[in-house]
Each structure stands twice: as C-alpha cells, then as structure tokens.
Amino acid sequence: MLAFVYGQGGCILQQQQQHSLQTRRCFLGNQNYFVGKNNATGKNTKTVVFKRRKQVVAVQTSHVDSLGGTRDQKKNQVEFTQVPDQRGHFGRYGGQFVPETLFFCLENLTKCFEETKDDPEFRQELNSLLKDFVGRPSPLYFAERLSSRYARKDGTGPKIYLKREDLNHTGAHKINNSLAQCLLARKLGKKRIIAETGAGQHGVATATVCARFGLKCVVYMGAKDMKRQSLNVFRMRLLGAEVREVTAGTGTLTNALSEAIRDWVTYPEETHYIVGSVSGPHPYPLIVREFQSIIGKETKQQAKEKWGSNPDILVACVGGGSNAMGLFHDFVAEPNVRLIGVEAAGEGLDSQKHAATLTCGQLGVLHGAMSYVIQDEDGQIKEVHSISAGLDYPGVGPEHAFLKDTGRAEYVAVTDEEAIQGFKLLSRMEGIIPALETAHAVAYLDKLCPTLSGSPNIVLCCSGRGDKDVHTVMEYLKEKGDSDIHLDDIIS
Ligand SMILES: Cc1ncc(COP(=O)(O)O)c(C=O)c1O
C-alpha cells in the first residue's frame, strides 16, 4: 500500500515507492519518481511521493502510457488550447495528489465527464435547465454611469460592461457548475452530494440543485464563514441541506475543503463531491472550467452583437478562480484580449493578512493539486485573510498558476478597504449591490482605467450579488466610523 497524506504542504523533497512490482526509479530534471506495473489493475503506474521534513505530505499516482515516460513529459511545449493534458497537468501545475481510494472515484468521474459532456441528451437537459431554472443567458450590461467616471475630456475612455452572473438563480455564477455536476452525479448513480463553501454561494447553489433533484446534500462550512454569511447558512438549511460547521484551523474555506475531502475518502461509493471552483485534483479544474465557460461563450456572442468584435479586456475576481476561468476560457487562445484576475490583498500585501495567492504564493500542493499556495518556508499553509469569504483561501486553481507563469493573464490584488469602496461605487453608480468578491474586481477599475488609452471595451464579471455581505459591510463601516452612510439608527 502507498503511504498517503493528501497535500497539505508544499515542498517537494523526494519520492518513494512502497508497493507495486517491477518498479524502476527514474529521474527527470530535479524530479525523481517510480514507475511500475500495478499487478491488480494491469496498468502502468507512476508514483511520486512528496515529503517535507521526512514526513510524507502527498502521494501522486497516475497511469502512464508506457514505463518509458508520461504523456506530459513527452510534450515539452504546451499550447493554451491543449491544457490540461490527459492527466490534468497545466504545465507543471494540477495533477492528482489524492489517496488511492479517491483515485478510482476520480477516474470514474473523468470517464463519465468525457463520455457525457458532448452527449446531445445531456446537453439538451443542461441547456434547458440553464435557461428555465437558472435564467441564462445572463445579460451583458453596459454600465454607462460607471464608464462615465473614467471618460476623458475628449469623449474617449473605457466602456465598461458587466456580465451579470448576479442575476442567476441563487445570485451568483456558482449554480452553473453545481447544476451540471449534479447531472453528472445522477449519471454516476450517486445519491449523496457533498460540497464545501466559503461565501455560502456554492453551498446555496448546491443545496438548490439537490432540492431540485431530490438528492441528499451535506455542506461543509468554516465556523467563521458561518457567522459572516449567516444568511446563506439559513438559505441552505431552508433548502433541506445539512450544514456542517468546521471549527478546525481558521474556520474558513480551506478547512471546509479539507473536511469535505475527508468525508469523500470515508464514503466514496455513494458520494459525489461537487467542488465549487477550478481547484482540487484532476478532473475538477477541467470540469468546473467547462461548466463555467458558458460565461465567456455568452460574452463572446453578446460582444459580437453589441459592438461587433471581442472585448479588449476581461476583469474578474479570483478566489479559487472559477468565475475568472469561466470568463477567460473562450478568449485564452486570443492574444489580443487582455485577461486580468483580481485577488484579495486583505489588509495589505505587507501585512501578512491577505489572500493574494498568485501575487505572493509559491509552488506547493493543496487540496489535491499542485499550484501556487500561501505557505511558510516549511511548506505549512499560512493563515490568510480577506473581508470576502469567497476569496479567503490560500490556494488557487492550477490553470491560473499556468496562465500567470506563461504571462497570458495578469494578476493583481485589491485591499479590503478598496473592495468596500468598490462595493459602494457599483451600488451608487449603477444601482447594483455586488458581492464583496465582485467588489474587488470593481475596485480595480480605479487603478486600471487611468492607464488605458482610446476607448477599449472592458467586460467585468459581476460574479454575484451583495445581499449576503450587507452585514459585513455595515460592521466594517461602523468600525471605521464611516459617516457617509448613517448607521447609528440601524446597527448598535
Ligand atoms: C459571488 C462570488 N464571486 C466569486 C467567488 C470566488 O470564487 P471563484 O474564484 O471560484 O469564482 C465566490 C466564492 O464563493 C463568490 O461567492
């Protein structure tokens, strides 16, 4: 049997193999690993064991074409349109750092996804539900007053459009993925759904589709997030889901994810785990990207109808990265479209209280995949902070790490204070109260727009609505002594 821990740390020190006959030790650059034939399955297997301070922190097992090398090793040039490879690698990122029990669930899921995603019956059912249950397509809305803020005296200036995912049923982009994965779960014959949630939007979306399909639903949520997103906790319970409080660690999204994976390891047969972002082990980054890519597909079509060409710039907030990847995906292979992801700088990048993983993190393994991770020099995951529960996560989807390293996308960070200003700005300029996550992207416009020339078309993903965050913002403003909104008679 393989020793196993599923990636809670980052440093790669060495690899080892404790099972399998006919193993052979191999070296590739600074990586060494074992290949061998698994006699039980008859498949060629590559095993990499990651250690930190002589402790095993992660084991990656993958099937390979031959004992001479893996598919990804044979390719040294990866095109944007070719990622991930068949083993879920985005360049050096991604993969499957999971225990063997889950490895077979992931294989089944990959197979089911590949067989189903283009199946006309599946597509028809999904499209019909997206239209009539979710309310798609979501509008591409010209934010006229917001654009006028950045207009120059000569009449030029950026034109800002909002992709209105906040208008989806349940109020965010998360339902695109939860709905489609629920249909996959049904195909896999799974009757029990689990999910993790930070802001509660993925939890609410999953509880909603489970209610729709009559499936049992368990949602893991950090204790701190349950407090700051209490409205969403109530919504999930109302929808019939069981919300399990996670008190471990910081009581935020990262701990909820760990608990959900633990649950899945314990009940793999009957359970499907609906991961809420483009993170986690392969095939999740691929599956979630596919089901969220409707955001970018619609945008492309709507942009063509509105101004006859692609947008010039796409802007989206990045927690795990699903709304950003959903918007970016159809444009990644089009180099003229600038892609900008906005992370949470919390109380400032120098404060150590932030969640800007791509801006400040390093290579590591978290929740089943290799990506950027916020960690200390020993590879221990560090506590992160953002006023926005959905961005309060020390990891990020592996494709974003790949897009950053290749220079295809830019990643920037916005503080809590700036996000609050973005929250107020969109509310007052457009009559749209955004989610605090979205408010990060809105706030970045103040930095971006003065640097632009001409009149570029910017599409900003309005990933969710802000009802869930109103209490957090009220408390923040009260603490800061904000006199702009009179709070004394509504908050004690
Ligand atoms: C409204 C909203 N936007 C964005 C996010 C961040 O997630 P992701 O980066 O996967 O889009 C969340 C997460 O909960 C969210 O609720």
* Residue 484 within a domain: no
* Residue 218 within a domain: yes
Q: Is 463 annotated as catalytic? A: yes
* Residue 299 within a domain: yes
Tell whether 331 and 469 lie within a shared domain. Answer: yes
Tell whether 120 and 187 lie within a shared domain. Answer: yes
Identify the domain containing residue 342 by its residue range.
Answer: 140-170+292-479
Cα atoms in the 13 Å half-sphere on the side-chain side of 319: 30
Give the domain-ending residue among 232, 262, 288.
288
Q: Which of 258, 399, 463, 468 is catalytic?
A: 463
Probe residue for ligand 1, chosen from 463, 465, 468, 469 as the CB with the greatest number of ligand atoms within 8 Å: 463
Query: In 39-147, at which residue ranges do the beta strands (DSSP E only) sit?
Result: 43-52, 55-63, 89-90, 93-94, 140-142
Residues ≥6 apart with Cβ < 8 Å to 324: 316, 317, 318, 341, 400, 461
How far is 158 from 136, CA to CA, in rounded Å? 27
- Atom 6 of ligand 1, nearest CA residue: 319
* Residue 410 within a domain: yes
Tell whether 151 and 176 lie within a shared domain. Answer: no
Tell whether 122 and 225 lie within a shared domain. Answer: yes
Tell whether 300 and 444 lie within a shared domain. Answer: yes
Tell whether 193 and 231 lie within a shared domain. Answer: yes
Tell whether 218 and 162 lie within a shared domain. Answer: no
Strand pairing report for 271-273 and 192-197: parallel
Tell whether 425 and 467 lie within a shared domain. Answer: yes
* Residue 105 within a domain: no
Confirm or reject: Cβ of 206 under 6 Å from ligand 1.
no
* Residue 404 within a domain: yes
Confirm or reject: Cβ of 322 under 6 Å from ligand 1.
yes
Confirm or reject: Cβ of 165 under 6 Å from ligand 1.
no
* Residue 303 within a domain: yes
> How many domains, in total, are found in the chain?
3
Give the domain-ending residue among 251, 273, 288.
288
Helices (runs of H) and strands (runs of E) counted in the chain: 17, 18
Q: How far is CA 277 from CA 8, 71, 340, 395, in A?
A: 18, 26, 18, 11
Tell whether 206 and 126 lie within a shared domain. Answer: yes
* Residue 189 within a domain: yes
Tell whether 449 and 345 lie within a shared domain. Answer: yes
Tell whether 217 and 195 lie within a shared domain. Answer: yes
Q: What pLDDT was estimated at residue 65?
A: 56
Looking up residue 389, the CATH number of its domain turns out to be 3.40.50.1100
How far is 223 from 114, CA to CA, in rounded Å? 36
**Tens of pLDDT, residue by residue, the chain (492 residues):** 222 224 443 333 222 233 333 344 433 333 445 666 665 566 666 666 655 555 555 556 666 555 544 444 444 445 788 899 999 999 999 999 998 889 999 999 999 999 999 999 999 999 999 999 999 999 999 999 999 999 999 999 999 999 999 999 999 999 999 999 999 999 999 999 999 999 899 999 999 999 999 999 999 999 999 998 999 999 999 999 999 999 999 999 999 999 999 999 999 999 999 999 999 999 999 999 999 999 999 999 999 999 999 999 999 999 999 999 999 999 999 999 999 999 999 999 999 999 999 999 999 999 999 999 999 988 899 999 999 999 999 999 999 999 999 999 999 999 999 999 999 999 999 999 999 999 999 999 999 999 999 999 999 999 999 999 999 999 999 999 887 777 777 765
User: What spacing in Å lies between the alpha carbon of 69 and ligand 1's midpoint?
Assistant: 38
Confirm or reject: Cβ of 435 under 6 Å from ligand 1.
yes
> Model pTM?
0.86
Tell whether 301 and 415 lie within a shared domain. Answer: yes
Confirm or reject: Cβ of 319 under 6 Å from ligand 1.
yes
| Residue of 208, 182, 197 lying closest to 245 (CA atoms) | 197
Residue 57 near residue 90 (C-beta atoms within 8 A):
no
